[in-house]
Amino acid sequence: MLYTEDERARVARESGETRLTRNKRAAQRRGHRAHHRRKEAREICQRRPLFVDFADVGWSDWIVAPHGYDAYYCQGDCPFPLPDHLNGTNHAIVQTLVNSVNPATVPKACCVPTQLSSISMLYMDEMNNVVLKNYQDMMVVGCGCR
C-alpha cells in the first residue's frame, strides 16, 4: 500500500500556512498563559493616591482651608503567605492560610489602612467664626492586610 501526500497539505506546507497556523496556536497559548499570570500576579496591597477636593464633595461652603488634601486609600491583594511588610495580624495570617486551603470557607484578608495621620483645617462654625481644628485619621500613611 502506498500513502501519498494530500495536495492541499503539500500546498499549505509549501506556502507556510501550516507554520502560520502553528504559530497562531502558540501565540494563543502564550496569551492564555500570560492572562492567567496577570490574574495571579495581581498587585499586592498598597497605598494609592486619592486627592479629595472639598468643592467636589460639597464642603467648600464651610471649609475655608485647605481646598483639598491627599487622603490616599488602600487597595490590592493579600496573598498567602502574607509578606512581612503588609503588617498582617495573626488573625489575618490564619484567615489567609485557611483561604488558600479552601477559598469557599472564608475570604482572603482585606487590604486596609494600618496607619493614619491627621490634617488641620480652617472652617466656619455655625456662628460664622473661623476655627482651626486638627482632624484625626484623615490621611492614609500605611496599608496592610487585616
As a whole number of angstroms, the distance between CA 41 and CA 102 comes to: 19
Grid cell locating 65: 482651608
The overall pTM is greater than 0.85: no
User: What residues contact 59, with CB distance under 8 A and at least 6 apart?
Assistant: none
Determine the pLDDT at residue 18.
44
Tell me the domain boundaries of the chain: 1-41, 43-145
Determine the pLDDT at residue 42.
79
- Span 60-104, pLDDT tens digits: 999 999 999 999 999 999 998 988 888 899 999 999 999 999 999
Please determine, looking at this structure, whether the domain spanning 43-145 carries the CATH number 2.10.90.10. yes
As a whole number of angstroms, the distance between CA 2 and CA 122 comes to: 95
